[in-house]
């Protein structure tokens, strides 16, 4: 589904080093740059489970998109990560990364290297998740450093920065 957008409505742009672009418009919709059509196309989030709340979206340095959603899936309420590839245009099944009864909630989110995301918890700790192709889920990696408020990543060199 190709959609031309009014460039004056763009309020945020996310660019990966692969040339992939993701923009957020003032209407709250996300669009990605489609190299095939040379137009922006709507990021379809209709496949998210009903009642899901999108808490963050980003792209890594390879051009893959990641979404952090808050949802109830099969009776488990919490934060889920899912990924989307602009070539296949399909969202992967969401994977639970934090149940609702766990302490806090995520306040910041950023994708970095291919298949790696970083989250800031409400207790100011940073958590890293990497996609495990064998188990088809996100594995918890680095989990420490207190005092973070926001996190961003260098799409070109793979560095992460927090403040």
Q: What is the CATH number of domain 51-162?
A: 2.130.10.10
**What's the pLDDT at 72?**
92
Question: CA angle at residue 30 from 51 to 129, to 5 degrees?
Answer: 70
- Asked whether the beta carbons of 26 and 9 are under 8 A apart, the reply is yes
136 phi/psi in degrees, rounded to 5: 60, 45
Higher pLDDT, 2 or 107: 107
User: So where are the chain's domains?
Assistant: 51-162
pLDDT tens readout for residues 7-28: 899 988 887 766 678 888 998 8
The per-residue pLDDT for 74 is 92
Mean pLDDT, residues 123-136: 78
Q: What is the dihedral of CA 73, 51, 89, 8, to 10 degrees?
A: -150
What's the pTM value of the predicted model, to 2 decimals?
0.76
| pLDDT for the residue 126 | 77
């Amino acid at each position: 589904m190709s959609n031309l957008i009014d460039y004056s409505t763009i309020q945020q742009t996310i660019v990966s080093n692969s040339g992939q672009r993701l923009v957020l418009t003032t209407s709250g919709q996300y669009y990605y740059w489609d190299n095939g059509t040379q137009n922006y196309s709507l990021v379809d989030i209709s496949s998210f489970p009903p009642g899901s709340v999108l808490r963050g979206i980003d792209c890594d340095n390879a051009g893959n998109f990641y979404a952090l959603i808050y949802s109830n899936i099969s009776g488990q309420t919490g934060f889920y990560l899912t990924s989307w590839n602009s070539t296949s245009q399909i969202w992967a099944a969401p994977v639970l990364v934090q149940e609702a009864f766990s302490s806090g909630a995520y306040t910041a989110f950023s994708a970095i290297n291919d298949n790696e995301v970083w989250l800031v918890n409400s207790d100011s700790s940073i958590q890293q998740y990497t996609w495990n192709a064998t188990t088809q889920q996100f594995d918890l990696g680095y989990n420490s450093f207190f005092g973070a408020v926001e996190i961003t990543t260098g799409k070109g060199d793979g560095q992460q920065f927090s403040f």
